[in-house]
Structure 1
């Protein structure tokens, strides 16, 4: 089915601003975007009357469905704290797709999220990318696995010192990370030689990391923890992303030098622990200045996913360019997740994930009028 959304102010996620544009979609995909488009016959036409259209927003670092807000202990399925190294667990096995946060995401123009284990463990398990609409996890998956969770800094120290077991220091965290990756490398060599007679799930799920099929996505706030993550990635020749990157502004030149992908946030949160002391929007401004590619995250439920757009707007107020802010929620977020071939911008052939806004998405008074995933309306605003 052909659908054309005309007279729209289109922000395509790539930095292009089409004031009186048309978005033409066919079934699940985008057919054409531009100012002057010859519409084919038998097309359904929707006049946007100057409303804005953007790509569906992407939050690259969340715990939707595995850390359910307002449920208490029963909804906390995001940290398997029985031991500090758990590469064998998968976020998809703990996601509750009925959680209210998925609806909040759709109502806020967020169409894609990466859901991951928490940061209690040095290695926390596999993560996956989801559409924010659906009732069955398997039908919502965009990509699985999309990364392996790693964590440095205060969280593993606090959890396991309380249990009186390793690791209790940053040195211990790094050592345990190295030991596990070394064991996985040895397992890989033996498997390639045909010497593995009985597979081990923990090691099997680390093989995609060693083969650079997925990155190690590392929770790291402090500058020294960030550099430790990069150091270990270089030692084992694996891909790494830096998640949170609170003190990234202190080493922005080094991040640029290493070409590492970064997610920043949750910047709207309080300074609840020591490693958040220098938290602020100045991190994003410094990363932009040094050409470091970054995305913006809420780390839901630390900050509700409905504040993703608000976070970007605050960053603009503190000096981030509007173009970079939008890319951090769209095309750059898609690159962070390696799904840029299908999502993150309004381009021919990509999934028809888009949002119609009553005004500019970064204006506090703007309302999401309708959210679409793969060409289907998944939320429509109704006046009370």
Structure 2
């Protein structure tokens, strides 16, 4: 089914509603008169105005008891409320249709008809239906799917698209408020940007609907709204909403209508932006004192503070709710004299939290660790309100029985597929969590937290969850019907819907659909890894088992960097799998960063020479990544288990970053033989519009580094640290971290300048290169490269390239091409990785062995 019209969501004005309410009052009071002589006597002395007032009170009372849900006969509609006039009916022919029905197991072959914004038929479209359309003379748009899959539109349960906008300009980022910790009265709709460039990107990935949440800076960040990405003729945020609550524009609306679901964001952990705030009460904004500019202050917000913030807020809301109930009880009993001159107790600030206590709000609760999960479960039981979903919930798989104690029922758990360990509270997260939770009967959703993960790749995230053991039907449900039901919208979205929104195509038609597999990929067997993850509470031993001899059986393919082979024998059945070169990682700061948001686990950032003097003790030296490497970390060994046998890492920093190094992720420490494969790989700089210095200053500094010109004080300081100049010229690659096409063009011009002036070739590589496609011919002519990273990411490009990238090219992207782009001149070690059950780029393949020429050993992961 399709969504409802924004016109239908607007509350009826008080002026227009008064005649209706007065009539309702008369009818209600006539019934009361007939049933109660006492009330009949009392009403005989009441004015029409008093009768209307009493009717309004009784109607509000009925509304407070009503539960949200679709209107009666909702599914009998013949036209969607969101139908756009003059939209042609669409017939999708020859499709393989996954409907999301029958627990995600129903697959139909045939046709799908959409008309008036509704799905009219799925599977078999009667001829009579097409004849009716012909009589309507609207024209029929026919799309031949050629056997391709058609699924419901993807639903993102956790997104900040529109409030954390792209481009991220000043005044276009409204994710968080920093005014208090408890802010249930704030609303994401008030900051929703209709010009976010991410909408089109998300739709390109099949995402049609998302829950737009406030950020994580507060315990209660405010109310969320459900949004459809389809542009509307009105071009307003309100017109993009799906079934917004009638309270959107205030408390004056037709209370006789069934309520619609409301949505709210909680954070049961440390609010991210409030590390240092003193307060006397979370309920009184004027008493807040901000001291974030003084990070040396020892006192800050802790989980103890957060716990009290919630309890104090709920106690306040509970008192309001009880006052409302007491008021209505008197009205129902006919005690109107006690209510003379009194109004129904309301407060615009707290009415949304009162609705939480009445069970009319779908709560999205940000929580990671068991301590956070325990707190929210206890809170729901203390104040008796349901929670729809626990988001992130990295340790939820360790406490599934605790989740089931949530008041009102077990919440849905929206998770990342693989984005773990970026901070301490997420460090025990596991790729096996979706499988473990589903085995305990807990509904799982895969979400993006856009822009943390680009929502365009949400289906790819679901594929990773399936790879790690989540049933194929549940994996598809996790981004369609499961999130739709978690937000109370299962009657409208998530089932029987393609990548059309409201029956309107949002992507340009392509000439040919590439038929895919008719069955989902076979999942590798991760039973042992899953069990170990739970047994070790997220920290299973990542070290491999080294053996002397291995015999591989049933090998379907062998790919080598060059000629030669590696002897070695313990029998390993690859079940038709392949042996391929080990992958090379670049882009992730492996071995310099373990937990991104924990400084104690990181090498730190290189000081920016354009932002102040470097300490004299450095003696003009450029930082080298090899000096800050940390071996044996969990992230490093997990990369090794994923088939990465070489990692190239550069120091982190602005402008002049330093010199990268190549090393083996499988080495235990730096003194292991060949732990360092290549000490100095390339010199890395960054040129960005976000830097403290202007782009022109950065380019001038780079020119000075190359030509030795200029007497500007800042440039002299830059030259002072450029002892690398002799080996830079034609011998070491200059890697520039750059995203903007104009900056890339300027760098290419600088390259031409240098080469004309010196007669020597400058080896230049663009890293990042978001807009490199705009200069593809110029970059190719200059002989440069665009470096990125890894197995599933490269596999995604390979499988979705429609044949433009073949297997050999894809493998080269993350091995020899990447190494050449970074200036690696020497022949790299012949490290090989064995994949059981499939090819390196397939979701059926599992790494079971690394044959490391670098470390001179064979490591088994079985």
Find the counterpart in structure 2 of residue 281 from structure 1. Answer: 431
Which of the numbers 262, 279, 283 marks the counterpart of 2:412?
Answer: 262
Find out whether 1:138 has 2:238 as its counterpart. yes
Q: Under a length normalisation based on structure 1, what TM-score does the superposition of the two structures give?
A: 0.87
Output aligned runs, 1:155-170, within 5 Å.
156=271, 158-165=272-279, 168-170=301-303
Distance 2:143 2:177 in 1: 48
Unaligned runs of at least 5 residues, structure 2: 1-87, 135-139, 246-261, 283-299, 328-338, 512-800, 802-862
CA contact (8 A) 1:87 1:123 kept: yes
Counterpart selection for 2:185 from 78, 88, 94: 88
Deviations 1:68-106 (A, max 9, x none): 244155332111111111111110000101101111111
Q: Which residue of 1 aligns with 2:377?
A: 230
Question: Retained in 2: the 8 A contact 1:91–1:128?
Answer: yes
What is the CA deviation profile of residues 269-301 of structure 1, one whole-angstrom value per residue up to 9, with x for unaligned ones?
352211110122211011111110121100011
- Within the candidate set 23, 26, 31, 2:120 is matched to 31
Counterpart mapping for 1:145-156 below 5 A: 145=245, 146-154=262-270, 156=271
Secondary structure, aligned partner of 1:279: coil
User: Does residue 366 of structure 2 align to residue 219 of structure 1?
Assistant: yes
Cα distance in structure 2, aligned partners of 1:381 and 1:105 = 17
**Which of these residues, 469, 484, 489, is aligned with residue 319 of structure 1?**
469
Report whether the alignment pairs 1:242 with 2:356.
no
Query: What secondary structure sits across from 1:215 in the alignment?
Result: strand
Aligned to 1:304: 454
Quick check: 1:216–1:238 contact (8 Å CA) kept in 2?
A: no
Alpha-carbon distance in structure 2 between the residues aligned to 1:8 and 1:175: 54
C-alpha distance in structure 1 between counterparts of 2:314 and 2:405, whole Å: 24
Q: C-alpha displacement at 1:225, in angstroms? A: 0.5
Q: Are the equivalent residues in 1 in contact too, given 2:448–2:458 (CA < 8 A)?
A: yes
Residues 1:183 and 2:316 aligned together? yes
Give the whole-Å Cα distance in 2 for the aligned partners of 1:100 and 1:120.
24
What SS is found at the alignment partner of 1:144? coil
- C-alpha distance 87-19 of structure 1, shift in aligned 2 (>3 A): closer
Q: Deviations over 1:104-131 (max 9, x none)?
A: 1111100010001111111111101010
Residue 62 (structure 1) shift: 0.6
1:118 aligns with 2:207: no
Structure 1 CA distance, aligned partners of 2:187 and 2:343?
A: 23
Give the conservation status (yes or no) of the 8 Å contact 2:377–2:405. Answer: no
Of 65, 69, 86, which residue of structure 1 is paired with 2:162? 65
Distance 1:16 1:105 in 2: 26
Deviation, 1:260, is 2.0
1:174 maps to what in 2? Answer: 307
User: Do the aligned residues in 2 keep the contact of 1:13 with 1:331 (CA within 8 Å)?
Assistant: yes
Which residue number corresponds to residue 820 of structure 2?
A: none
> How many residue pairs align between the two structures?
359
Do 1:59 and 1:112's aligned partners in 2 also have CA atoms closer than 8 Å?
A: yes
Q: In 2, distance between residues paired with 1:189 and 1:256?
A: 28
Comparing 255-264 with 25-34, greater Cα deviation is found at 255-264
2:421 paired with 1:271: yes
Question: Aligned partners of 1:196 and 1:305: how far apart in 2?
Answer: 46
1:22 aligns with 2:22: no
CA distance in 2 between counterparts of 1:18 and 1:7 reads 13
> Is 1:12 equivalent to 2:99 in the alignment?
yes
* TM-superposition CA deviations, 1:207-230 (whole Å, max 9, x none): 221111113321111122012111
Indicate the residue corresponding to 1:102 in structure 2.
199
Q: What residue in structure 2 maps to residue 379 of structure 1? A: 507
* 1:47-86 alpha-carbon deviations (Å, 9 max, x no partner): 2211110010000111111112441553321111111111
1:208 aligns with 2:355: yes
Using the TM superposition, give the Cα deviation of residue 198 of structure 1 relative to its aligned residue in structure 2, in angstroms. 7.8
What TM-score, normalized by structure 2, do the two folds share? 0.40
What residue number does 1:337 align with? Answer: 487
Match of 2:564 in 1: none
Instruction: Write the distance in 1 (CA, Å) between the matches of 2:170 and 2:278.
Output: 22
Greater mean deviation of Cα atoms: 176-185 or 162-171: 162-171
**Mean Cα displacement is larger for which, 56-65 or 66-75?**
66-75
Cα distance, 1:180 vs. partner? 0.2
Alpha-carbon distance between aligned partners in 2 of 1:100 and 1:238, rounded to the nearest angstrom: 37
Instruction: Give the number of the structure whose alpha-carbon radius of gyration is greater.
Output: 2
Partner Cα separation in structure 1 for residue 267 and residue 308 of structure 2: 12
Residue 363 of structure 1: aligned partner: none
1:80–1:124 contact (8 Å) kept in structure 2? yes
The answer to which of 267-276 and 280-289 deviates more is 267-276
Q: Partner of 2:147 in structure 1?
A: 50
- The alpha carbon displacement at 1:143 in A equals 2.9
CA RMSD of aligned residues (A): 2.2
- Conserved 8 A contact 2:95-2:149: yes
2:158 is paired with a residue of what secondary structure? strand
Distance change in 2, residues 1:234/1:215 (3 Å) = farther
Question: What is aligned with 2:575?
Answer: none
Deviation at 1:136, TM superposition (A): 1.3
Structure 1 unmatched runs, 5+: 347-352, 356-371
Q: Distance in 1 between matches of 2:172 and 2:415?
A: 23
Distance 1:281 1:112, change over 3 A: same
Secondary structure at the aligned position of 1:147 is classed as strand
User: Contact conserved, 1:256 with 1:291, CA < 8 A, in 2?
Assistant: no
